Amino acid sequence: MPLSRRSTLTQFLIEERRRFPSASGDFNALILDVALACKAIARAVAFGELGGMLGNHGAAGTDASVNVQGETQKKLDVISNEMFISANNWGGHLAGMASEEMDGPYQIPRSSPRGKYLLVFDPLDGSSNIDVNVSVGSVFSILRAPQDVIDSGRDVTAADFLQPGTQQLAAGYALYGPTTMLVLTVGNGVNGFTLDPNLGEFKLTHHQIQVPADTQEFAINASNSRFWEAPVKRYVDECLAGRTGPREQDFNMRWIASMVAEAHRILMRGGVFLYPRDTKDAAKPGRLRLLYEANPIAMLMEQAGGRASTGREPMLGVQPTGLHQRIGLVFGSKHEVERIERYHREPVAMKDNTPLFAERSLFRD
């Protein structure tokens, strides 16, 4: 389609709003504010070292600062968080915000009107890659604020954000790669918008994205293999066995260490991503954050015909218990995710190698 005939993000949202004649327009305006933040971050990422954007956050000569997760903050982590806040704290659409980079909820200033939505986000996913010029992104989710927050205008608490993924009104990510893209669902499929640098507008370029149900590509951090649970190890071993193994086909393995980039590849051509629960740190039942990483990606995958899971249960059905709760995540092509879930349900095969109980035992037929 000629560029001049492509819908802009604004036009797309207006068309979506027409399905709900009583809608006020606040929801559309909020998404456009989020898109504005993503444009600003894209520009900062593009300048890189030319704009002094690389490296760790913290005063010169001091140790780098860390966020609530205990992770070293990059300069762009902090800058991106500030861009999200400044684009969204004044429009009157939000009751509050929560972010990977903030310990607790962000309160909308009393000098600004407050709205009926909550915004949760990871302002710069994959920032450990920023210094080596690998694609990074922003992930976000929109929830409805509890009714008493809307009615009273009180400050939000962490508990107000603890809603299962099924309650999300919209979710999406921005990918800052060779082109900047915004991939969005408002509960009616998944659409991708590419930033036109000449106009400064996101234009619809990927309509109703669908994840293929089958794939021969998987993504996992193999350095953690010694900590994997048996069902995950079984799945990966079967993929690596290729044509001569039980799957009777060859698989490719990918790992970018930027979940937005991983999710985008899977939305574009299929695949499965695993960052499962493991035994590396018993205090952390997973690496990724439920509210602002796992849930928005899960909504996108499910809306595109894929599947997202903890490995044991659907991701969108998990009831959050904490603002920064961690969880294991498997998402992508439906049939592969279902296979991994099935492996978690099946009993673990006996691994005893003694003569009495081994596969070639004294009691074999």
pLDDT band at 110 (very low <50, low <70, confident <90, very high): very high
pLDDT > 70 in the chain, percent: 89
Structure confidence by residue, pLDDT tens digits, 52-108: 777 775 544 445 566 666 566 888 999 999 999 999 999 999 999 999 999 999 999
Domain 3-206 has CATH 3.30.540.10: yes
Single pTM value for the model? 0.90
Q: Is residue 225 predicted with pLDDT exceeding 90?
A: yes
Arch. (CATH architecture) of 217-345: 3-Layer(aba) Sandwich (3.40)
For CATH 3.40.190.80, the residue range(s) in the chain are 217-345
- Residue 234: predicted pLDDT: 98
For CATH 3.30.540.10, the residue range(s) in the chain are 3-206
Structure confidence by residue, pLDDT tens digits, 327-344: 999 999 999 999 999 999
- Residue 130: predicted pLDDT: 82
HEC sequence for the chain: CCHHHCCEHHHHHHHHHCCCCCCCCHHHHHHHHHHHHHHHHHHHHHHHHHHCCCCECCCCCCCCCECCCCCECEHHHHHHHHHHHHHHCCCCCEEEEEECCCCCCEECCCCCCCCCEEEEEEEEECHHHHHHCCCEEEEEEEEECCHHHHHHCCCCCHHHHCCCHHHCCEEEEEEECCCEEEEEECCCCEEEEEEECCCCEEEEEECCCCCCCCCCEEECCHHHHHHECHHHHHHHHHHHHHHHCCCCCCCEEECCCCHHHHHHHHHHHCCEEEECCECCCCCCCCCEEHHHHHHHHHHHHHHCCCEEECCCCEHHHCCCCCCCCEECEEEECHHHHHHHHHHHHCCCCCCCCCCCCCCCCCCCC
